[in-house]
Amino acid sequence: MDAVALRICNEAVFPTRSPPGWWTAKLAALAPASFQKVVTALRCRRADPVVLATAASVYAELALAEVLADPRDREDQRALLESVVDVLPSGADAPIPTAFLCRLLHATVTTQASAKTCRDLELRVAAVLEQATAGDLLAGRVSTREGLCALE
């Protein structure tokens, strides 16, 4: 995992002739536990928060596609989503798009993710709600009918 993190950090600082974003496809193929190890290694190497946000976003897109396309395997999807939310960078250093956060919140509600995961996303969405457009909210299909995650 450290070797993968090193290549990602090097690519971010010294772009090579490899196709742009090659590393995002590699991350998307990882299991949740492996993904978290790579992110931990990236943090230990003090990777730019934008790199962490990009990694989490790409990995989450895979999870969102699976959740919305095939809702049968909820346990694996829940683990995938929870690992993504767990590694999302916080703060203004790496702003995460509102529409993405809304879609992620919708997916965590759909998979009945843990109360901690839901609460973290609810707080993130609430923090950017002022800047959200109707399109952002509709992208996440967040509505009062579905409600937000209930506390366990």
Give per-residue pLDDT as tens, 119-143: 999 998 888 888 878 877 776 554 3
Sorted by where each begins, the domain ranges of the chain are 2-140
As a whole number of angstroms, the distance between CA 51 and CA 70 comes to: 29
Residues 29-88: tens digit of each pLDDT: 788 888 888 888 888 888 888 888 878 888 887 766 766 666 667 777 788 888 888 888
**C-alpha span between 68 and 65 (Å, rounded):** 5
Task: Give the span between the Cα atoms of 18 and 21, in whole angstroms.
Answer: 8
132 conformational bin, left if phi > 0, alpha if psi -120 to 50, beta if neither: beta
CA atoms within 13 A on the CB side of 41: 17
DSSP string, 84-99: HHHH---STTSPPPHH
